Homo-oligomer: A and B are copies of this chain.
Amino acid sequence: MPNIRRFDTKQPDFWSELESLLSWEGVSDDKVNGIVRDILKAVRERGDAALVELTNRLDRMDVKSIRDLEIPRERLEQALAAISTEQRQALELSASRVRLYHEHQKGESWSYTEPDGTLLGQQISPLERAGLYVPGGKAAYPSSVLMNGIPAKVAGVGELIMVVPTPDGEINDLVLAAAAVVGVDRVFALGGAQAIAALAYGTETVPAVDKIVGPGNIFVATAKGMVYGTVGIDMIAGPSEILVICDGETDPDWIAMDLFSQAEHDEDAQSILVCPDGAFLDRVGEAIARLLPTMERAEIIRTSLEARGAFIQVKDMDEAVDVANFIAPEHLELSVADPEAMAPRIRHAGAIFMGRYTAEALGDYCAGPNHVLPTSRTARFSSPLGVYDFQKRSSLLMFSPEGASEMGKIASTFARGEGLTAHARSAEYRIKKH
List residues of chain A with CB under 8 Å of any chain B CB. Answer: 26, 86-87, 90, 93-94, 101, 104-105, 110, 112, 119-123, 125, 127-128, 138, 141-143, 174, 210-211, 229, 231-232, 236, 251, 253-254, 257-258, 260-261, 263-265, 295-297, 301, 339-340, 343-344, 346-355, 357-370, 373-374, 376, 378-384, 386, 388, 392-401, 403-404, 407-408, 410-411, 413-415, 417-427, 429-430
Task: Tell me which residues across on chain B come within 8 A of A382, comparing CB atoms.
Answer: 232, 392
Task: For the complex, give the distance between the alpha carbons of A26 and B229 in Å.
Answer: 10
Q: Across the interface, do A429 and B253 meet the contact criterion of CB distance under 8 Å?
A: yes
Q: Across the interface, do A426 and B380 meet the contact criterion of CB distance under 8 Å?
A: no
- Interface SS, A side: mixed
- Distance of A202 from chain B, by nearest CB (Å): 11
- Distance of A132 from chain B, by nearest CB (Å): 14
- Distance of A38 from chain B, by nearest CB (Å): 16
- Distance of A396 from chain B, by nearest CB (Å): 5
Q: Across the interface, do B90 and A363 meet the contact criterion of CB distance under 8 Å?
A: no
- Among B229, B295, B415, the residue within 8 A (CB) of A378 is B229
Most buried by B among A123, A232, A344, A361: A361
Task: For the complex, give the distance between the alpha carbons of A6 and B423 in Å.
Answer: 24
Q: Across the interface, do B398 and A429 meet the contact criterion of CB distance under 8 Å?
A: no
- Distance of A97 from chain B, by nearest CB (Å): 8
Q: Across the interface, do B411 and A364 meet the contact criterion of CB distance under 8 Å?
A: yes
A260/B426 contact (C-beta < 8 A), A349-B394, A379-B394, A383-B393 known: yes
- Distance of A322 from chain B, by nearest CB (Å): 13
- Distance of A420 from chain B, by nearest CB (Å): 6
Task: Tell me which residues across on chain B come within 8 A of A86, comparing CB atoms.
Answer: 413
Task: Tell me which residues across on chain B come within 8 A of A141, comparing CB atoms.
Answer: 418
Q: Across the interface, do A211 and B361 meet the contact criterion of CB distance under 8 Å?
A: no
Q: Oligomeric state, in number of copies?
A: 2
Q: Across the interface, do B105 and A430 meet the contact criterion of CB distance under 8 Å?
A: no
Task: For the complex, give the distance between the alpha carbons of A313 and B348 in Å.
Answer: 52
Q: Across the interface, do B366 and A407 meet the contact criterion of CB distance under 8 Å?
A: yes
Task: Tell me which residues across on chain B come within 8 A of A361, comparing CB atoms.
Answer: 411, 415, 422-424, 426-427
Task: Tell me which residues across on chain B come within 8 A of A376, comparing CB atoms.
Answer: 229
- Among B229, B359, B368, the residue within 8 A (CB) of A426 is B359
Task: Tell me which residues across on chain B come within 8 A of A395, comparing CB atoms.
Answer: 350-352, 363, 369-370, 373, 384
A264/B423 contact (C-beta < 8 A), A90-B414, A94-B414, A380-B128 known: yes
Q: List 8 A-B contacts (CB under 8 A).
A: A128-B380, A210-B381, A261-B422, A355-B399, A360-B426, A362-B404, A362-B407, A367-B399
Residue of B nearest to A383 (CB): B393
Task: For the complex, give the distance between the alpha carbons of A399 and B333 in Å.
Answer: 12
Q: Across the interface, do A358 and B399 meet the contact criterion of CB distance under 8 Å?
A: yes
A426/B353 contact (C-beta < 8 A), A94-B410, A381-B127, A410-B366 known: no
- Among B87, B257, B348, B392, the residue within 8 A (CB) of A422 is B257
Task: Tell me which residues across on chain B come within 8 A of A430, comparing CB atoms.
Answer: 254, 357, 359, 362
Task: For the complex, give the distance between the alpha carbons of A123 and B355 in Å.
Answer: 16
A142/B359 contact (C-beta < 8 A), A384-B393, A394-B346 known: no
Task: Tell me which residues across on chain B come within 8 A of A423, comparing CB atoms.
Answer: 261, 264, 361, 364
- Among B128, B365, B383, the residue within 8 A (CB) of A347 is B128
